[in-house]
Structure 1
Amino acid sequence: MARAGHWDPRELPDLAGRRYLITGANKGLGYFAAEQLVGAGAHVIMTGRNPNRLAAAHAAIERRVLDVSAGGTGAGSVETLLLDTSNLGSVRAAAATARARGPLDALVLNAGNVHPPQRRQTVDGHELVFATNVLGHFALAGELLQNLAVVGGRMVWLGSMAASLGDYEPRDPDLVEGYTAWRAYAQSKVATTALGFEADRRLREAGVPVASVVAHPGYSTSGRTAGIRGVNEPSRISRFFDNLQAPITQSKEHGAWPIVRAAADPSVQGGEFWGPRLLMHGAPRRGKAAPVTRDPEIGARLWAFCESAARVRWPFEKAARAARRLR
C-alpha cells in the first residue's frame, strides 16, 4: 500500500470501487495503463476500434492480472467497448453506451495514430491523425463530462515530447497545405496538450469539479516491452534496434506510469503536466509543458475549431448542476 503523500508506480494504492475508461486500450500505453489500474483493484472500460484486438487485450488482462492461479491479483475487473476516435459517429455511439454505465473517476484519452496513415482523411472530412488524436477525444470528453462531474473525476490527455521539437502550432489543423506525416503527428500533440490546459481553465471557470491533466510517456518503445500475445509482439529486428537505444528509452509498461499517476493519484491537480523524471524515462513526476501549449489564445482558438468540427459543445452548466445535486 502506498504511504500518504508517496507514489510508487510498482505498488499502487487500493483502487477498489474506482472506474476508468481508457481509449486505445488494446495495445501499447493504453493496455499497460489498464493492466496497472485493474491490478490495483479498479474497474476499467477498455476501448478500441478493432474487436479482435480488443478481445485479445481483454484476454491478456484476464490471464496476467485477474487469474489468481497464474499469479494475478484477482482484484479488479474489466470490460470492453468498441470505439474509433477517428470516427465521430463511433464516438457518439460509444459515449451513449458509456454514459449509461455510470460515473467515471477518470477518462484517459490515450488512443493515437503515430505512424503515417494509408489515407489522409476521415469519413467526416478531417485529417486522420488530428481526428484520431484530438478531435475524437475532444468530443468524447464533452459527451462524458457529466459522468466525471458527479464523482469529481478527471480527464487525462496524452501529450508527447514531440510538442517541444519545433514550431508545430496547429494553425491549419486539417493540414490542407504543407502536409507531412511528422507535422501531422507533432501538431496533434501540441493541440492535445493545449486543449487539456484549456479544458482546465474552462472547467474551473464554470465551477465543474473535474480536473483536466496532461501526461506524456517519454520515449517508450515496443521493443523494450514484455511480449504479450495479441497485444505486443515486436519483431526480432525491432527488439534489436530498440535495445540499442536502451540508455534513453523505456518500456511501454513504464511509459504508462505517468498516465496512471495522472489518473489515480489524489494529489494530482488540474492543469498539471506529468511525465518521466528524466524526460525520456524514469518514475513519474510533475513537469512543465512547452510554451506553445500553455498559450491561452492558442487554446481558445483550438477549442473553437474543435467545437465546430466535432459539433460538440461541452455541457458545463449541466455538469456543474449534476455535481451540486450529489453533494
Structure 2
Amino acid sequence: MGWNPRQIGDLSGRTAVVTGANSGIGRHEAAQLAEHGARVVLAVRDVDSGRAAAEGMKGDVRIAHLDLASLASVRAFADGIEEPVDLLVNNAGLMEPPRYRETVDGHELQFGTNHLGHFALTALLLPRLLQAAAPRVTTVSSIAHFRGNDAVLEGNPPQTYVPGTAYGQSKLANLLFALELQRRADRAGLALTSTAAHPGVASTGLVADPDGLGHNPVVRHVLPILMRVVLPGGAGGARPVLYAATDAAPGTYTGPKGPGEVRGPVGEAKQSRFARDESLAARLWSVSEELTGIPFPVEG
C-alpha cells in the first residue's frame, strides 16, 4: 500500500503556508494539512478562487494574496505573516507558456514564478520559520527537471526560449534550491528541514491553464479528459509532496515509484546529474540573490 496521508500525525498548533493552494495538488495538500490540525494559509494569486477552495476544507484555513511573479507581492505577503511558520510548501507553478513572457520584475515568467518567487519567499519567511520548533520547507519540482542543464544559470533568456525546456530549467532550479537549502542549514547548525518532491504526472488544472499548455484549445479541452482516464488526480499527485512536507528525511527528494515515476507508491525520486551538482547549486543560489535583490540569511 505504501505511505498515505492518513499517516500524517497531529499538526495542531502548527502553521503551514501553501502556495498555489486554490487548485490542483496544492488544494489537496492544504486540505490534508488542515484536516490534520494545522492552521493553513492558502497563498494564492486569485483570492476569489482561494475562498472557494477554502469553503471545501475542514479546519483552520485562511486566504492571503501572493503573486510569485511580483517580488513586491512576495514582500507584502511575507510582511503579513506575524506568527512562526512551521511548514512552507513551495507548490505553485506555471507550465510552458507558448511565448516568451516576463514577470513584472523583468524575469522570464516560468523561472521568475516557479523559482525566483519561491526563493525570495523562503528567504523572507526564514525568520518566521526559525521561530518554529522544527521548521520544514518543501519545494515542488518535476520529472521535467531532467530537461534542465547548467544553462539554468541564464534564467531562460528570450533568444533561446523553448517552452518545455524553460519549464524544465525552472524545475531543475527548484530542486537545486531545495537541496542547497538543506546543505546551508546543516552548515549553519539550523534546525531546518528542506525537502523536495514531485507529483509524477497528475490530472490537474495545470495542463488546462490558458497561460501555459492550455493556450491550445485542443489541449485545454481534450487532454484533461484523457489524463483523468489514465492518471491520478490532484489527491494522488499531492501524496509525495505531503510525505516530503511531513515525514521525509532532510535533504531528500520524493516522488512516485511506478514506471517512469509517473504514478505509483511514494518513494525516493531520481535526480539528474545537474540536480546533484553542488557547485551548480551554489552558483544558482548566488544568481538568485542577485536577480531578486534579496540576500538569503543562510550563508554558504
Give the TM bin, normalised by the shorter chain: 0.7 to 0.9
Amino acid at match of 2:119: F
Q: 1:122–1:39: structure 2 CA closer, same or farther, 3 Å change rule?
A: same
Q: CA deviation at 1:195?
A: 1.0
Q: Structure 2 length normalisation: TM-score?
A: 0.88
Determine the C-alpha separation between the residues in 1 that align with 2:286 and 2:112. 15
The question of whether the paired residues in 2 share the 8 Å contact of 1:208 and 1:316 is answered with no
Q: Structure 1 length normalisation: TM-score?
A: 0.81
Q: 1:169–1:213: structure 2 CA closer, same or farther, 3 Å change rule?
A: farther
Query: What's the C-alpha RMSD, in Å, of the aligned pairs?
Result: 2.1
Q: Which residue number in structure 1 is paired with residue 123 of structure 2?
A: 142
Q: Which residue number in structure 1 is paired with residue 166 of structure 2?
A: 184
The question of whether the paired residues in 2 share the 8 Å contact of 1:117 and 1:128 is answered with no
The question of whether the paired residues in 2 share the 8 Å contact of 1:25 and 1:48 is answered with yes
Determine the C-alpha separation between the residues in 1 that align with 2:181 and 2:116. 14
The 3-state SS of whatever aligns with 1:250 is coil
**Residue of 23, 33, 36 corresponding to 1:37:** 33
The 3-state SS of whatever aligns with 2:255 is strand
Determine the C-alpha separation between the residues in 1 that align with 2:274 and 2:32. 32
- Aligned identity (percent) is 37
Amino acid at match of 2:255: G
**Residue of 251, 255, 262 corresponding to 1:275:** 255
Q: Which residue number in structure 1 is paired with residue 216 of structure 2?
A: none
Determine the C-alpha separation between the residues in 2 that align with 1:174 and 1:237. 29
| 2:299 corresponds to 1:314 | no
The question of whether the paired residues in 2 share the 8 Å contact of 1:157 and 1:215 is answered with yes
Determine the C-alpha separation between the residues in 2 that align with 1:282 and 1:122. 35
| 2:225 corresponds to 1:240 | yes
The 3-state SS of whatever aligns with 2:113 is helix
Determine the C-alpha separation between the residues in 1 that align with 2:251 and 2:138. 10
**Residue of 70, 74, 94 corresponding to 2:77:** 94
CA shift digits 1:100-140 (9 cap, x unpaired) = 1x111110001111131666111111111101000010001
Greater gyration radius: 1
Aligned length: 282
Determine the C-alpha separation between the residues in 2 that align with 1:117 and 1:288. 28
Q: CA deviation at 1:7?
A: 4.2
**Residue of 50, 60, 65 corresponding to 2:46:** 50
Determine the C-alpha separation between the residues in 1 that align with 2:256 and 2:104. 36
Determine the C-alpha separation between the residues in 1 that align with 2:195 and 2:180. 10
The 3-state SS of whatever aligns with 2:16 is strand
Which stretches in structure 2 are left out of the alignment for 5+ residues?
Answer: 206-218
Which stretches in structure 1 are left out of the alignment for 5+ residues?
Answer: 1-5, 67-75, 224-233, 318-327
The question of whether the paired residues in 1 share the 8 Å contact of 2:136 and 2:193 is answered with yes
The 3-state SS of whatever aligns with 2:166 is helix
| 2:178 corresponds to 1:196 | yes
**Residue of 10, 13, 36 corresponding to 1:14:** 10
The 3-state SS of whatever aligns with 2:154 is coil
Determine the C-alpha separation between the residues in 2 that align with 1:312 and 1:301. 15
Amino acid at match of 1:112: G
Amino acid at match of 1:242: M
| 2:22 corresponds to 1:26 | yes
CA shift digits 1:17-63 (9 cap, x unpaired) = 221100111111111100111111211100111121112112222xx
The 3-state SS of whatever aligns with 2:175 is helix
Q: Which residue number in structure 1 is paired with residue 89 of structure 2?
A: 108
Q: Runs in 1 of length 4+ with deviation above 3 angstroms? A: 165-169, 234-240
Determine the C-alpha separation between the residues in 2 that align with 1:27 and 1:145. 26
Q: CA deviation at 1:283?
A: 2.6
Determine the C-alpha separation between the residues in 1 that align with 2:48 and 2:21. 13
